[in-house]
Structure 1
Amino acid sequence: MTQPAARRPGRPSVLDTAAVSAGALRLWTERGFATTGWNELAEATGVSTRTLLRHFASRSDIAWIGVAPATERLRATLAGAAAEEAPAVVVRTAIVESVSRDPRIQELAPDWLRLISSEPELAATAPRIYRPWIDTLSAYLADRLPNSPAAICRAMATAYQSATFAALIEWAESGAHGDCADSVDRMLRWMDPHLPRS
């Protein structure tokens, strides 16, 4: 996955965000998040400090790099669902689809989950980072459950996000066996009865 830089005079740069994320995660796993700066990140990722700063406003932006694509996968799956499909099934399917099945990402996922759940700076930014994901699901629920108060739809979407994260943490802590998306699917099936089936 590559991300073009903002337009500047001369030749535009292209950043391999997946490689940057992997290099940063290896560094943080070995040395810790709080004690490593931009120079160490540049050395670990093979990307200059200047380029990193052009693409990322903070180190935490690198740590959370996978959430935006997950939100896009969630949005696309919800948008593509047939109107006659049960909301419970659509929501579970969309959330499971939002979890990457890319083997390279799944290999890094346990270390990433440990990092974001244990580093205070990252934990503090989690609500802001997950807000678009929650907003996307909340909007779908409000559309499919028009008589439900907006606060209830947001609370349900937040509960789904928490359950998804809990499933991923459990998967990582139990040895990261199998596909983490399947672990999320199993967890969310417990929540199916709380949404209308038709």
Structure 2
Amino acid sequence: MPGQYSTLRAQRRAETQRAIQAHAIRLFTERGYDATTVTDVAEAAGVSPMTVYRHFPTKEDLVLLDQHGALVAERIAASPDVQPLVRRIGRALIESATTLTGGDDLAAGREFLLARLRLMISTPALRAKHLDNHYALQRSIVDALGVDAADPDTVLRIQAAASACLATLHTALVCWAEDDGRGQLPDMIAKALAAAFGEDATDPHG
């Protein structure tokens, strides 16, 4: 029974978080990011500003916070460790993008992510925060690969591979957003990775 209650509470928390973020993205898109306050978002979502801050510690998090890091780390940890680093990381990025743009309503998921990306590209404060998220995602990738911190050469090699893959991901995201989300985002990421590292970078059987 306690476990069931804990699961229900987690589901309600996730639903509240999604609702708050949906209202935030809508308001930021309609009014502009700088012109919209956290209080405005709270009123639209029917919650208190304190509730918003419990779910999203900063205003920037209302746009940038998602499960991408956890999804990427999960898929990297599950990938065969005999594969090249770039392939393990690249496939994880593609598969996590598939999850983020999927779901019960494909169009809604795509439009929501597209709106977030447009805000990130056009808003200086969000671009700066995105760099912090980029570093955090790099750390998640390194941790998921089980790096031996006592071996600086291995750490450097993995950090370099993760950083290069994430730079390629960023390029794919920007191109996809500037193209108004035409085509499939996972395909765009795969194409960018192949351009940067070769076709076998995204081939799980390569």
Q: Fold conserved (TM > 0.5)? A: yes
Q: Which residue of 1 aligns with 2:31?
A: 31
Match of 2:90 in 1: 92
- Return 5+ residue gaps in structure 2 as ranges: 1-6
Where 2:60 maps in the other structure, the secondary structure is helix
CA offsets 1:104-145 (integer angstroms, 9 cap, x no match):
3311122211111221111122222222211133453957xx
Aligned pair in 2 of structure 1 residues 50, 177: CA closer, same or farther (>3 Å)? Answer: same
| Structure 1 match to 2:22 | 22
In structure 2, the CA distance between the partners of 1:3 and 1:157, relative to structure 1 (3 Å rule), is farther
Q: Does the 8 Å contact 1:92/1:189 carry over to 2?
A: no
Q: Identity percentage over the alignment?
A: 25
Give me the whole-angstrom Cα distance separating, in 2, the residues matched to 1:159 and 1:131: 12
Correspondent of 2:79 among 81, 85, 103: 81
CA contact (8 A) 1:142 1:148 kept: no
CA RMSD of aligned residues (A): 2.9
Alignment of 1:185-196 (within 5 A): 185-193=190-198
Q: How many pairs are equivalent?
A: 185
Q: Name whichever of 56-65 and 133-142 sits farther off.
A: 133-142
Determine if contact 2:85/2:161 at 8 Å carries over to the other structure: no
Alignment of 1:37-116 (within 5 A): 37-66=37-66, 69-99=67-97, 100-102=100-102, 103=106, 104-116=108-120
Structure with greater helix percent: 2
Q: Match for 1:158: what amino acid? A: S
Q: 1:181 to 1:27 in 2, by over 3 A?
A: same
Give the secondary-structure state (helix, strand or coil) at the position aligned to 2:127.
Answer: helix
Structure 1 CA distance for aligned equivalents of residues 162 and 8 of structure 2: 29
Q: Is the 8 A contact 1:96 1:185 kept in 2?
A: yes
Q: Per the alignment, do residues 149 and 81 of structure 1 end up closer, same or farther by CA in structure 2, a change over 3 Å counting? A: closer
Residues 141 and 156 (structure 1 numbering): CA distance in 2 closer, same or farther, change over 3 Å? farther
Q: Is the 8 A contact 1:164 1:184 kept in 2?
A: yes
- The normalised TM-score by structure 2 is 0.76
